[in-house]
């Protein structure tokens, strides 16, 4: 069962977006003010200070990247204020190191006043403003008016007694739900657990005895809980099934916290900035080619220039997915009859698809039909790199854990696209997508973008 985030989680994310926007503007303004105050009464020539101005322009960008990389904008800071301040200080220190190193390597003389005013003054101002912001967040979310609740899964036993001890130390209210009577009722029981989490607004779910379930059942339960935005904890025993998620010990107790996937809130900001830096010049460079493609499509066959589908995007939300039309009008009605459901023989059926036009085959061969999706990246419904969006009718093909792939925004390219595309099986495609979500980094995106050019030129798997 796929669930949308709760109202509380949406409210937190909205408040976090305000913080990100405000602090980004603040960093730029601090740098501008520092430079202006430093050069009051001086007659500067831009020509003599090109390197200095270039580095100063990069200064806010360096600081913003450090804030993202060190998790200073993760949604967890709204609950753990001390951790938020710690991450902010760590980001500021790394900004100072990066800025000083760049100044030394490129032999750029930057005024100490500018550094102290922007970095030290900016850090102090950040801490003060963030303290005010977090106080406002507490008031808005009314976190102190309601006692925190945890949901305990399991019957009475040693593990449950330890949970009660931990609950007392954390001053939380515990709710308990027993295990299903039989393995056949497990899926229904998971649905009941997720519903109880939403209704009770629990902040944590604790699985007391993981030995009662198989590793696959634990993963299914974990994924359903994470879909509600709730932290999932499992009593740590030798033999616990390995998880793709990050593990971290909690409060000195013998518990393991299974976190969400790699793409955190702060990293999403960094990834969005990375997309915008690349997609804007790409749209400008590709505009003449798009005009030529539009002329060829119209010249060969009547019909619309763009073909638009509904695809499943991030968190299962539908969005408009455009392509240059590569098939004859009315081809959608023939899709199931010609291609059928995804299986091992799908790639062979793609090769002989009679619906594709001559211009369409060339466009598909070099993936040029995907160019309109650059606008989706600009709007934010897609990313340059990510899992390829699937069709709504393909949802029944998803396994119990394939919904993990939808944590990330869908992408123009990804591991699947550079690994054979339609020559790969459905299960391989899902495995590629889940691997990307778990292992995401800017370095991985750069590698996949580079490999995409080679994959496009080779045409492997493009039908």
Q: What is the pLDDT of residues 383-398, one digit of tens each?
A: 999 998 888 888 877 7
CA atoms of 406 and 266, how far apart (whole Å): 18
Of 258, 293, 324, which closes a domain? 258
Whether pLDDT at 163 is above 70: yes
Same domain, 332 and 356: yes
Q: What is the largest CA-CA distance in the chain?
A: 82
Whether pLDDT at 195 is above 50: yes
Residue 451 maps to a domain: yes
CA atoms of 74 and 121, how far apart (whole Å): 23
- ∠ CA 429-434-440, nearest 5°, is 120
CATH number of the domain where residue 175 is located:
3.40.50
Of 224, 258, 292, which closes a domain? 258
Same domain, 308 and 443: yes
Q: Percent of the chain scored above 70 by pLDDT?
A: 71
Antiparallel, parallel or unpaired: β 306-312 and 318-324: antiparallel
Same domain, 180 and 272: no
Same domain, 62 and 193: no
Q: Quickly state the pLDDT bin for 242 (edges 50, 70, 90).
A: very low
Q: Which of 338-342, 370-374, 392-396 shows the highest mean pLDDT?
A: 370-374
Mean pLDDT of 49-55: 65
Give the DSSP per-residue string, 297-342.
HHHHS-S-SEEEEEEE-GGG-EEEEEEE--B-TTGGGGHHHHH-SS
Same domain, 284 and 137: no
Give the model's pLDDT for residue 3: 43
- Contact between 324 and 305 under an 8 Å Cβ cutoff? The reply is yes
Range of the domain at 252: 149-258
Whether pLDDT at 144 is above 50: no
HSE at residue 162, side-chain half, CA atoms within 13 A, is 18
**DSSP summary character for residue 356:** B
CA atoms of 236 and 256, how far apart (whole Å): 6
Least confident of 5-19, 172-186, 341-355: 341-355
Q: What is the pLDDT of residues 272-326, one digit of tens each?
A: 888 988 999 999 999 999 999 999 988 888 888 888 889 988 888 899 999 998 8
Residue 2 maps to a domain: no
Same domain, 197 and 81: no
Residues 292-314 as b/e (b if ≥16 CB within 10 A, e otherwise) read: ebeeebeeeeebeeebeeebbbb
Same domain, 179 and 247: yes
Give the model's pLDDT for residue 55: 67
Residue 122 maps to a domain: yes
Same domain, 165 and 117: no
Give the model's pLDDT for residue 322: 92
DSSP-derived 3-state class of residue 41: coil
The count of domains in the chain is 3
Q: Quickly state the pLDDT bin for 373 (edges 50, 70, 90).
A: very high
Residue 390 maps to a domain: yes
Residue 1 maps to a domain: no
User: Would the pTM count as exceeding 0.75?
Assistant: no
Residue 64 maps to a domain: yes
Give the model's pLDDT for residue 321: 92
Same domain, 310 and 422: yes
Residue 463 maps to a domain: no
Q: What is the pLDDT of residues 11-24, one digit of tens each?
A: 777 788 888 888 88
DSSP-derived 3-state class of residue 296: helix
Candidates 133, 96, 110; CA nearest to 35 is: 110
Residue 192 maps to a domain: yes
Least confident of 26-40, 86-100, 261-275, 290-304: 26-40
Same domain, 296 and 418: yes
Same domain, 250 and 276: no
Same domain, 247 and 277: no
């Amino acid at each position: 069962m796929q669930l949308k985030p709760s109202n509380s989680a949406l409210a937190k994310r909205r408040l976090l977006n305000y913080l990100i926007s405000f602090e980004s503007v603040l960093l730029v303004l601090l740098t501008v003010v520092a430079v202006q105050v430093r050069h009051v009464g001086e007659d500067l020539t831009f020509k003599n200070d090109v390197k200095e101005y270039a580095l100063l322009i990069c200064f806010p960008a360096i600081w913003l990247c450090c804030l993202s990389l060190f998790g200073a904008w993760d949604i967890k800071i709204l609950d753990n204020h001390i951790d938020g301040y710690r991450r902010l200080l760590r980001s500021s220190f790394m900004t100072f190191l990066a800025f000083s190193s760049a100044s030394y390597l490129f032999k750029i003389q930057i005024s100490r006043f500018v550094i102290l005013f922007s970095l030290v003054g900016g850090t102090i101002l950040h801490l003060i403003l963030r303290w005010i912001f977090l106080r406002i967040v507490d008031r808005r979310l009314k976190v102190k008016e309601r006692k925190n609740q945890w949901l305990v899964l399991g019957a009475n036993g040693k593990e449950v007694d330890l949970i009660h001890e931990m609950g007392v130390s954390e001053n939380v209210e515990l709710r308990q739900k027993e295990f299903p009577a039989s393995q056949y009722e497990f899926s229904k029981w998971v649905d009941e657990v997720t519903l109880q989490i939403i209704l009770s607004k629990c902040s944590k779910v604790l699985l007391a005895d993981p030995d009662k379930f198989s590793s696959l059942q634990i993963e299914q339960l974990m994924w359903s809980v994470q879909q509600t935005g709730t932290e999932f904890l499992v009593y740590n025993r030798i033999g616990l099934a390995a998880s793709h998620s990050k593990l971290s010990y909690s409060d000195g107790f013998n518990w393991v916290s299974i976190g969400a996937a790699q793409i955190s809130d702060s990293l999403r900001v960094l990834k969005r900035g990375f997309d915008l830096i690349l997609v804007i010049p790409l749209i400008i460079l590709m505009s003449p080619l798009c005009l030529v493609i539009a002329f060829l499509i119209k010249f060969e066959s009547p019909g619309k220039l763009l073909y638009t589908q509904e695809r499943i995007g991030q968190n299962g939300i539908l969005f408009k997915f455009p392509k240059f039309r590569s098939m004859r009008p009315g081809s959608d009605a023939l899709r199931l009859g010609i291609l059928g459901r995804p299986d091992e023989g799908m790639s062979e059926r793609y090769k002989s698809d009679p619906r594709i036009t001559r211009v369409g085959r060339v466009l598909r061969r070099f993936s040029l039909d995907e160019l309109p999706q650059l606008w989706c990246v600009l709007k934010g419904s897609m990313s340059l790199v990510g899992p390829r969006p699937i069709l709504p009718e393909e949802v029944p093909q998803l396994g119990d854990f394939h919904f993990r792939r939808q944590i990330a925004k869908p992408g123009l390219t990804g591991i699947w696209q550079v690994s054979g595309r339609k020559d790969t099986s459905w299960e391989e495609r899902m495995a590629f997508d889940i691997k990307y979500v778990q292992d995401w980094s800017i370095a991985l995106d750069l590698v996949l973008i580079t490999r995409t050019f080679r994959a496009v030129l080779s045409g492997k798997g493009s039908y």
